[in-house]
Amino acid sequence: MGRVLVWLITAISFLALSHQPAASEPKHAIAMQGEPALPPDYTHFNYVNPDAPKGGSITYCVVGSFDNLNPFILKSLRTTARGMMDTIFGNLVFEPLMQRNADEAFTLYGLLAESADMDPERKSIEFHLNPRAKWSDGQPVTPEDVLFSYDVYTDKGRPPYSDRMARVAKLEKTGDHSVRFTFNDKADREFPLIIALTPIIPKHAFDKETFDRTTLKPVIGSGPYTIAQVQPGQRIVFKRNPDYWGKDVPAKRGFDNYDQITIEYFLNANAKLEAFKKGLCAIDDDSDPVKRERDLDFPAFHKGDVIAETFDTGIPPVVTGFLFNTRLPKFANPVVRRALGMLYDFEWANKNLFGGKYTRTMSYWQNSELSALGHPADDREKALLAPYPGRVPADVMDGTWRPPVTDGSGQDRRVLKAAFDLLKSVGYHVQNGTMLDPEGKPFGFEILTASQDEERLAGIYQRTLEKIGINLTIRSLDGDQIQSRKQRFDFEVLVGSSGFNNSLSPGIEQSGRWSSTAARTEGSFNLAGVADPAVDAAIEAMLRARSKEDYVAAVRVLDRLLISGNYMVPMQYNTQQWIAYWNYLEHPQKTPIFGYQLPTWWRKPN
C-alpha cells in the first residue's frame, strides 16, 4: 500500500509539473513580431563595416541652441544638447538595455543587457546585465542603476519616461546582474521592448532631488563617448572613451568610428549651409531636391571634394503638412479643417518648386501595408469602428480617398469653389472680400515658420487662401522659439513634419502623438490636440494585437481616423534620402530599411 501511495504521489506530481507552462529562456534578442533575423552567434549587424577604421574627427551641424545636458527632464525638453541619446548621431553618452537593429521592423539585440527572458504572454521580462558593462568613470552597471533610473524618471522625469512605471506592477532585483519587470493590465505587448529601449543612468552620479533641474555639467554615461567641451548654445564636443566597455559587443561593432565628435549649432538653415560649404560641417542633409541642386553649385562640389548621394529606404515617408492646433475654437470643426486642407496647391508647388520630384502626402503610413490607401476596410476594421458610426467617410473606408488634384495653375476655381462651399455649409461667408466666421468675425490664422523654405511653402498656401478671403499671417521664429511654443502648445498652425516619422512597427509612440491623454499633457508630441475616443480605441487595439492581421487592421483604422479628422493640410514627400558630404567620409555598402546610419560611417585614414 505504501509503495502504491508513493507511486501515485510521484505520478500526480509529474503530471502537475508537465502541465505547467514551459519556462522561457534568456535570448540574445527580442522581436515585436516573429523571430529575430540574426542568430545568437551573430557577430555584427549586416549594414555595418565591422572592420571600419577608427580615428579622426567629425563635425555635425544643426539648427537651434541648447541649454541643458539632461535629456530626461521636461524643462528644456527641446533645447537639450544633441548627441546624448540621439536617433541621428547615435547614443554617444547614454545607452539602453538593448539595441535596435535598423534592418528589421522592430527587433532588439543585447547591449547593457546581454540577454532577456520574456514571458510568452509578455507579462514580464527579466534582463541579464552584461557583467562587463561599465560607466565612463569605471564603475560597473548594476541592477541598482536600473531601479534608480525608473524611480527618478517616474518622480522627476519627462514623458514618456515618467509614464512607464504606471504599467509596471513590480520591478525587482533578481540577482547580482539581473532585474525583472512584471507588468500590470495597462501594459501592451510592445511594452517589454519599450522597457528594453529605455536609457539607463548611474545611481552614483545623479542626485534625485536635483534631477529635474537643467545642467551644463558633463554627465556620466555608459556610452562610447564622454563630454569634453561645452559652449552653451554653440558647441558640444564628445571624445571617445578609450575604455568603452561595449566596443566588442556584436550590436556595437562597426559603430562609433570617430575619436572626436563635435556638434555645432546655427541660428538657421542658411547659416548651416554656408558652414557646410566652407568645410566646417561634414554633412548636409537637406531633403529639398531643387534647393539641393542650387546649394551644391559651389567649387568644392564641382571639384569632387563634396559628394551628393541618394539612399533608398523601406519605411513609410515622413508625414509633412500644415498642422492645426485643434485646441483652438477656430480649428475645432473638422469641416473647416477639411476645407482648409483642400487649399494647398500641391500640383503647382511640385511643378514650380520641386521639379516634379515629389509625391502628395495622403496617408500616415504611405507606401506600406499599414496604409488605408487602396485597402477597403475589412471585417476586423469595421468591428473596431462599429462603436463610432459615421466617423470615417465612405471614400476613406473603401480606400479610394485622395486629396483634390488641381490643374497646377495656382488658381483652380473648381477646387476653390469646393472649399468655399464647405465653409459656407457651416456658416462662413465672404463680405467685402473677407471671410467671416459664423459669428461675423474675420477668419484668419497664423503659421509659424523656422526657415526660408518653410516660409516659401507657407507663402504658396497664403496666396491660395487669399483668393477666398482668408487672411494668413506668416511669423518667422528661430528654432528655440519654435520649440518653446510647441512645448506649450502656443501656436495656431505649424509647418513641417511635426514629428510624424512613422515606422513599419508603430506602437506606444502613437499614444504620445494622438491620444486624448497626450493632448492634455504639456510637452507631449500630440501637437494637433487630437482628443478622440475612436482614436484612443484604435491605438489600444493596435497595442493589444497578437496576430499580424489584427495589428494591420488596427493601424489602418488609426490611419483612416487621422485622415478623416483633417488634422493637417497634407503636403509632399520623397521616399529617398538625399545627403551631401565631404569626401573624407566613407560609409558601408549596404543601406538598412531605416536608411543610412551616420554612426556607422567613418573617416578615411590619413
The pLDDT tens digits for 397-444 are 999 999 999 999 888 999 999 999 999 999 999 999 999 999 999 999
Give the pLDDT mean for 277-305: 89
DSSP state of 86: B
The per-residue pLDDT for range 90-101, each reduced to its tens digit, is: 999 999 999 999
Cβ neighbors of 424 (< 8 A, separation 6 or more) are: none
- Residue 575: is its pLDDT beyond 90? no
Give the contacts of 351 (CB within 8 A, at least 6 positions apart): 408
Mean pLDDT calculated for residue range 228-245: 98
What pLDDT band is residue 22 in, cutting at 50, 70 and 90?
A: very low
pLDDT band for 156, please (50, 70, 90 cuts). Answer: very high
Quote the pLDDT of residue 494. Answer: 94
**pLDDT tens digits for 23-52?**
468 999 999 988 999 999 999 999 999 999
CATH of the domain at 521: 3.10.105.10
E-strand ranges in 369-450 read 429-431, 434-436, 444-449
Q: List, in sequence order, every residue forming a beta bridge with 113; answer none if it has no partner.
A: 129
Instruction: Tell me whether residue 549 is in a domain.
Output: yes
Q: Closest Cα partner for 93 from 74, 71, 73, 68? A: 71
The pLDDT value recorded for residue 497 is: 60
pLDDT 10s digits, 500-527: 678 888 988 899 999 999 999 998 999 9
- Which among 491, 413, 511 is positioned nearest to 191, based on CA atoms? 511
500 located within any domain: yes
Q: How is residue 183 written as a grid cell?
A: 507588468
Position 500 scores a pLDDT of 64
Dmax (CA) of the chain: 106
Three-class SS of residue 73? coil
354: which DSSP letter? Answer: S
Query: In the prediction, which pLDDT does 20 show?
Result: 39
Instruction: Give the pLDDT score at 154.
Output: 94
202 in a structural domain: no
Q: Is the pLDDT of residue 77 over 90?
A: no
Contacts of 547 (CB under 8 A, 6+ apart): none
The total number of structural domains that make up the chain: 1
Q: Is residue 287 part of a domain?
A: no
The per-residue pLDDT for range 141-150, each reduced to its tens digit, is: 999 999 999 9
pLDDT value for 159: 86
Does some domain include residue 481? Answer: yes
User: In this model, does residue 12 exceed pLDDT 50?
Assistant: no
> Residue 296 falls within a domain, yes or no?
no
> DSSP label at 218?
P
Using a 10 angstrom Cβ sphere, with 0-12 exposed, 13-18 middle and 19 or more buried, the burial of residue 8 is: exposed
Quote the cell numbers at residue 237: 564636443
C-alpha grid cell, residue 340: 482648409
As a whole number, the mean pLDDT across the chain is 92
Q: What is the pTM of this model?
A: 0.75
Parent domain of 395: 321-573
Cα–Cα distance, 196 to 200 (Å, whole number):
10
| Cα 446 from Cα 472, distance rounded (Å) | 6
Q: Considering the chain, what percentage of its residues have pLDDT values greater than 90?
A: 79
What pLDDT does 483 receive?
Answer: 86
Confidence of residue 153 (pLDDT cuts 50, 70, 90): very high
1 in any annotated domain: no
